[in-house]
Each structure stands twice: as C-alpha cells, then as structure tokens.
Copies of this chain bind each other. A is one copy, B any other.
Amino acid sequence: MAQSEATKRANSEAQSPSSSIARFGEDAPLHLDAGVSLSPFQIAYETYGALNEDKSNAILICHALTGDQYCASVQPITKKPGWWETLIGPGKPIDTDRYFVVCSNVLGGCLGTTGPASINEKTGKPYGLDFPIVTIADMVRAQSMLIDYLEIETLFAVIGGSMGGMQVLQWAASYPDRVFAAIPMATGARHTSQNIAFHEVGRQAIMADPNWHQGKYTDEGVVPSKGLAVARMTAHVTYLSEPALQRKFGRQLQDRENVSFGFDADFQIESYLRHQGSSFVDRFDANSYLYMTRAMDYFDMAEDNDGKLANAFSGTNTRFCLVSFSSDWLFSTAESREIVHALNATGASVSFVEIESDKGHDAFLLDEPEMVATVSGFLNSAAKARGI
C-alpha cells in the first residue's frame, strides 16, 4: 500500500510538529533506563494560559498511550478538538485563565517529540527499532528537562489518566519537590499481567503484518496498517465496558434488517471497531505504538523501590487526588486503592474518589460530571493552599 495523504501528514507532524518545540543538543543528553543516552532530541509541546510572575501556576498534563500534546487545541491531523477540553480551557476546572497549562508529546511518541518515527541524524532515516526502549521514568525525565527549559521550578500540579497517570505517579516519585499537587486518574502503580497480555497481542498483530518490515516500513514506503488496526481494535475493546457496549450497541445491526450470513460488519459494534482501527492508522505510528505499550508494560513502581510501593513516596509533601472509575477493568479501583494505601503508609495527603460510571477505562476522557467536579474541587483547594 502506498503512503496515503494521511500518512504523509502524520510523518510530517512527527518531524516538524505544528506545536512548539524544545530542542536538546549534544550537550544535554537524556540518560535512559536502558543504559544508553539519547542526543540530540526534541520535545513537542503545547501551552495554554500564562505563567504568573512567581511561576507558581504551572500545570503539566500527561497524555495516555495514544494521546498527544493537543489536550486543549485542535489536533493537526484529525482536526478534532483537544482530547481533554472537558477539563481544560477558560473557566473550566483546569482554568487556562488562571493556570499555565503545559502538555508535551511523550518521549517515543509520534507527534513531534523524538521517537521511532523521527529521523535519526546519524543515518538520515527514521530510527525504527534502533530507537532505544523508553520507560515511564524516561518520559518523565524528558518532561523535567522541558520544565527546566520553560524555567519553571515547581509545578503546581501534574495531571493525567492511564499512561498519563503513570507519569503523574512517577513525577511525584522522581521529583517530589517539584510537584505541589498530583492527580493520577484511572491508573496503576504497575502494569498487570492481563494488561501486558493485551499489549503483547497488539504488538504481535503489528509485527505479523508483512508491511511492518522489522520496523523499517517508512524506508519501504508502506505502512503496517492492517496490523496496527487490529492492535487498536483489541485495545479499544478493553477501554470500554460490557455494560457500555451493551447500552451503546447491544446486538443492533448496522444499516440492515437481518444478518447477512457472511463476514460483513453486520453488527454496529463491528462497524464501530473497524472504524476505530482504520482511523487510528491515519494518526499514529506503528513503531511508536510498540514503544508506548512496552513503556507501560515495564512500569512497576514497587519493583523499582525494593518491592515496596510506599518507598516510592516516602517523605512526600505532594498532595494527591486519585480517581478511579467503577467499570474500568483495565485499571480497576483496586489498583488505585493500592496506591492510596501506599501513600497513607507514608503519611501523605491523599484524596481518593471512585466514580460510578459504566463507561469503562475511557471514562477519564469523557464528560463525567463527578470527575469534573472532583478535579475542580481538589485544584481549587490546592490553589488556595499554594496562594494562587
């Protein structure tokens, strides 16, 4: 399959994003958990609102697996509104009239921050699998360099869901003095066996696509679109919940009165999933998907702290607000509770809300009034304490 216009656009955004860029040269290498250094590299980021005089009002938003820096602005490929406009904007809970909001594409991503789709200066070709494996801690290390670059000492808050929530936890652990408040949502302190399993299935689907070419598909002028679509479809089912699927789609047929007695998309859920798969391919790089899923799989904060999660947060002054969703079976409430227990053990300031919702893991991205109210209330109270 030749490169579509969408693929060209995606490649262009990977190299020269529509957003701002912070470049780090040979003098500022990024030391990775894999034991190697990355240099040069760049971070693509968006900002909203203005930094106040004492630089106390900065909020860092961390995006999820397939998210990007366009949390509150139009995504340049899909032309869709920002993915978290429910929460972020003027007068919204994360009020851009009040806070300076920063959101960067994660390390290893494909929307302008250096990742496997970026051109390796040493070869003139995309890194592909020559890109080093990155961890959640590496992503956070890169973000801290961006925060330095923006001359911000302490973040008022770090907020994110799912893989974004992992980054929030890692920020609080790696840079406790730089995080005043933290909101990890729909997340866990380690990736479970089941979650690794679903990621592995997605990776195998991508790597099984002959167009993948051991990650060198751009050199071949093709895209492993079928494999990537299957990976996305599998993952997408895990982002929803059985009750939500039943309510939204049930066994309703798509544009027909009767089943076709064939393998067409008879059911609405089939048609929906196929659309999710094919539209994803236009905006996301297959290798980047491999790297993002691997970063999540490797995440285990207890393992990194002598088997004791509480050690990750000992002596922390950060105030935490954890949010989980009752029907989220990918990052269940039990996962959040483990974090709450660890934080309690260290005497940290912790709020925890489990929100009743049938919308599954995806709920954190949707307009859930109780979530909006929780974030708003917690941030207002933290802002008061911070004197903003």
Tell me if B249 and A193 are in contact (CB < 8 A). Answer: yes
Minimum CB distance partner of A190 in chain B:
B251
Tell me if B229 and A204 are in contact (CB < 8 A). Answer: yes
A194 vs B248: C-alpha distance when bound (angstroms)? 11
- Asked whether A196 is an interface residue with its Cβ less than 8 Å from the other chain, the reply is yes
- Asked whether A267 is an interface residue with its Cβ less than 8 Å from the other chain, the reply is yes
Tell me if A208 and B193 are in contact (CB < 8 A). Answer: no
- Asked whether A34 is an interface residue with its Cβ less than 8 Å from the other chain, the reply is yes
Given contacts A208-B209, A227-B208, contact A233 B200 (CB under 8 A): yes
- Asked whether A277 is an interface residue with its Cβ less than 8 Å from the other chain, the reply is yes
A192 contact from B132, B205, B246, Cβ within 8 A: B246
Chain B residues in 8 Å Cβ range of A329? 242, 329
Given contacts A245-B193, A245-B197, A251-B191, contact A34 B261 (CB under 8 A): yes
A277 contact from B133, B204, B249, B261, Cβ within 8 A: B204
Given contacts A197-B273, A200-B233, A234-B234, contact A192 B227 (CB under 8 A): no
Given contacts A192-B242, A267-B297, contact A262 B197 (CB under 8 A): no
Minimum CB distance partner of A237 in chain B:
B197
A233 vs B294: C-alpha distance when bound (angstroms)? 18
A237 to chain B, nearest CB (A): 5
Chain B residues in 8 Å Cβ range of A193? 242, 245-246, 248-251, 267, 269
* A window 246-262: CB within 8 A of B: 246, 248-251, 259, 261-262
A270 vs B196: C-alpha distance when bound (angstroms)? 8
A261 vs B108: C-alpha distance when bound (angstroms)? 14
- Asked whether A207 is an interface residue with its Cβ less than 8 Å from the other chain, the reply is yes
A137 vs B265: C-alpha distance when bound (angstroms)? 21
Tell me if A207 and B267 are in contact (CB < 8 A). Answer: no
Chain B residues in 8 Å Cβ range of A234? 198, 201, 234
A234 vs B203: C-alpha distance when bound (angstroms)? 11
* A window 182-226: CB within 8 A of B: 190-194, 196-198, 200-201, 203-205, 207-210, 226
- Asked whether A368 is an interface residue with its Cβ less than 8 Å from the other chain, the reply is no
- Asked whether A30 is an interface residue with its Cβ less than 8 Å from the other chain, the reply is no
Tell me if A274 and B237 are in contact (CB < 8 A). Answer: no
Tell me if A237 and B198 are in contact (CB < 8 A). Answer: yes
A300 contact from B197, B210, B251, Cβ within 8 A: B251
Chain B residues in 8 Å Cβ range of A273? 197, 200-201, 204
A261 vs B133: C-alpha distance when bound (angstroms)? 5
A233 vs B194: C-alpha distance when bound (angstroms)? 12
- Asked whether A303 is an interface residue with its Cβ less than 8 Å from the other chain, the reply is yes
Interface residues of chain A, those whose CB is within 8 Å of chain B, are 33-35, 129, 132-133, 190-194, 196-198, 200-201, 203-205, 207-210, 226-227, 229-230, 233-234, 237, 240, 242, 245-246, 248-251, 259, 261-263, 265-267, 269-270, 273-274, 277, 290, 294, 297-298, 300, 303, 329, 332
What are 8 residue pairs bridging A and B, where the CB atoms are less than 8 Å apart in the complex?
Answer: A129-B263, A192-B246, A193-B242, A193-B249, A196-B251, A200-B265, A200-B267, A205-B208
Beyond A190-B251, A196-B251, A200-B269, list 6 extra A-B contacts (CB 8 Å): A132-B261, A192-B246, A201-B237, A210-B210, A230-B230, A267-B297
